[in-house]
Structure 1
Amino acid sequence: MDRYALRDKTASLDPETDYEEISRILATQEFPWDINQALSFALFRTYAVPSIGALLFATGEFTERVQKRYDDTGLILDAILEHGLTSDRGRSAVRRMNNMHGSYDIPNSDMLYVLSTFVVMPVRWIEQYGWRSLTAHEITATTNYYRKMGALMGIKDIPSTVDDFADFMDSYEAEHFAYDAGARAVADSTLALLCTFPPNDKAPKRAIEVFSRSLMDDALLDAFRYRRPNRVVRFLSRRALTLRGKVVRFMPVRATPMFARELPNFRSYPGGYEVEDLGTFPRDNARPPAFPGNGCPAKHHDSKETGTPPSAPVSARVTVT
């Protein structure tokens, strides 16, 4: 298969209607490693907003069960990506996400900020480290994908373009990035988890931590009060990723999709899992879900015309082999 065959395939699809298929091709075949890294860094930088980082610390999930929390987040998003936003499993995954978020008083601005990082960071990462840049066609499609997901999550005032998302993200960080001890603990715990992922686990922990910090911008480092790596270390770390991209350019096209559950980083469910069981089920200090019953933007299996109640959750058991 020609190295640019997948780019040609995405170019043949409509980013206004085929955004899910385009996003799936990019995340599971064309740039699986890059997009996984970019989304991990996207989530990581949200900790630097104290209202987000402090809440994550208060739940204890990112410090006491960080591997499970990492896996749950990735697997929920994986189910949506693989099966589609409006599929039975996709709706089940979105509802699981909504129920978790609905247990806390999270402002729309924070939800929108997290969404913006998922739109913007993969574009910036691939532009800097990918074996090729994303096309305008592909960027429009991935933006539409997350716009639709945001709507199903009940997020308001969602930007229309990647540039609008980027403007919002950059201004939000400039206004809100600040130090918080709990957020720093969440960041430290996440970096410690990163050191256990193959092949990182074969290298000294200190080297992985320095490498990771070398990829962070000064604003993010300062928000966590991390020491800024020197220019030489930064150059070598970023150059290594750039060279990786050049090598990937000459590698064969991935013929079959690779989903998150197939990565060695995901280790919490060796016997399989059900989407409905992923994530957290907060009881302490919880309030009623923000989207109870049919109010959830991710539609249930009921019919408003007939008035039938929501059906039982869709089983989405995945066996890990």
Structure 2
Amino acid sequence: MGVLRLRQRIAQRLAHPQRYDNLRRIRLLDPDVDHDEILALTSRHDFPWDFVQGTGIAFLRDYGIPSISRLLHETGEFEHDGIKRYDDTVLIGEESTIEGIDSPRSHAAVRRLNRIHGHYDIPDDEFAYVLATTIVGPVRWISEFGWRQLDPHELVAIARVTTRFGELMGIKGLPSTYAGYLELLVDYETEHFAPDPANTALAEATISIARAVAPLPLRPFVRRITIALMDEQLRHALGLPAQPAWLVRGVRRGLRLRALALRFAPPRTTPYRHRATTYPGGHVLTQLGPLSMLEELNDQSGRRASGGVA
């Protein structure tokens, strides 16, 4: 512990003089009360790219559960409207947090999500697992590839927002701590992870989405890099081929070098917003959701069809 603290102090001394300003602010806040502000500083200022990548891995973990992947595969959204499906998922999450998890904007976004989910028979344990991936994915990513480690205040705040989001979805018995979500995820994957053709089909479709939105020079390498970043349990469940050890080492070392370089960069001054390929001119809530459902979703009479947010 003493060595870790020493390394952290050395890193702060060598970093850009303003690099840790957001962390200093976070440590002055109460995560039980100021969770929205802490989440914004962490996800939109200090680690925006890392949150995106961690969330991407979270999507892939969902596909390791055959009952989840079969339902998603049956909808055909990832194969036929994959970029819109990805954008809509990210944007609903953004709408739910950008003004605070209990803001009117957030409640409207979660109501819409509940109406979409209301078209399917999804058990609570699957909802809880998917929710767990959305917190564990980014935290694990930052722990391994972030330019600093997350502070306990950040973990508390992220867990508070995650649990409240789940409550607004109507999910019962959720954890209240990051450790609880991590335990939920590990236990669920131990019991339910298994190979299935639908897992592989969804994983390949999602990698194709990532390739389509990646910078042109990176597109030929997206698939191999994505697989190289997976743990063996996930890769096996998705039925994807092992990558050479040299590639796995190279990708991970490259990301750690990026993290080191970021310590010398000034902090972000404007909050990150997702740039949706589907909506280059901006979006409104009524555009989000499967194309086949939009008319029904936007029908006022269907607003309370699936419950959730009061």
Calculate the TM-score normalised by the size of structure 2.
0.88
Q: Matched residue of 2:268: which SS?
A: coil
Of residues 236, 250, 256, the one that matches 2:250 is 236
Q: Cα distance 1:25–1:204, how it changes in 2: closer, same or farther (>3 A)?
A: closer
Of residues 1, 18, 36, the one that matches 1:20 is 36
Q: Cα distance 1:150–1:204, how it changes in 2: closer, same or farther (>3 A)?
A: closer
1:212 aligns with 2:222: no
Greater percentage in helix: 2
The aligned residue for residue 303 of structure 1 is none
Of residues 200, 203, 225, the one that matches 2:218 is 203
1:59 aligns with 2:75: yes
CA contact (8 A) 1:100 1:282 kept: no
Partners of 1:293 and 1:166 lie apart in 2 by 32
- Residues 33-87 of structure 1: CA distance to partner in whole angstroms, max 9, x if unpaired? 0011101111121011011111111111111100000110111111112122222
The aligned residue for residue 270 of structure 1 is 280
CA contact (8 A) 1:56 1:183 kept: no
The aligned residue for residue 249 of structure 1 is 263
Q: Matched residue of 1:99: which SS?
A: helix
Q: Matched residue of 1:189: which SS?
A: helix
The aligned residue for residue 129 of structure 1 is 145
For residue 277 of structure 1, report the CA deviation from its aligned partner. 2.5
Q: Percent identity?
A: 37
1:100 aligns with 2:110: no
CA contact (8 A) 2:65 2:193 kept: yes
CA contact (8 A) 1:92 1:276 kept: no
RMSD (Å), alpha carbons:
1.8
For residue 282 of structure 1, report the CA deviation from its aligned partner. 5.5
For residue 237 of structure 1, report the CA deviation from its aligned partner. 0.8
Structure 2 residue ranges without an equivalent (≥5): 1-16, 297-301
Partners of 2:283 and 2:219 lie apart in 1 by 32
Q: Cα distance 1:251–1:275, how it changes in 2: closer, same or farther (>3 A)?
A: same
* Superposition map of 1:1-321 within 5 A: 2-199=18-215, 201-205=216-220, 207-260=221-274, 263=275, 266-280=276-290, 293=304, 296-299=307-310
CA contact (8 A) 1:72 1:278 kept: yes
For residue 280 of structure 1, report the CA deviation from its aligned partner. 2.1
Structure 1 residue ranges without an equivalent (≥5): 300-321
- Residues 206-231 of structure 1: CA distance to partner in whole angstroms, max 9, x if unpaired? x2211110100111111121111122
Calculate the TM-score normalised by the size of structure 1.
0.85
Runs of 4+ in 1 over 6 A off after TM superposition: none
- How many residues are matched? 287
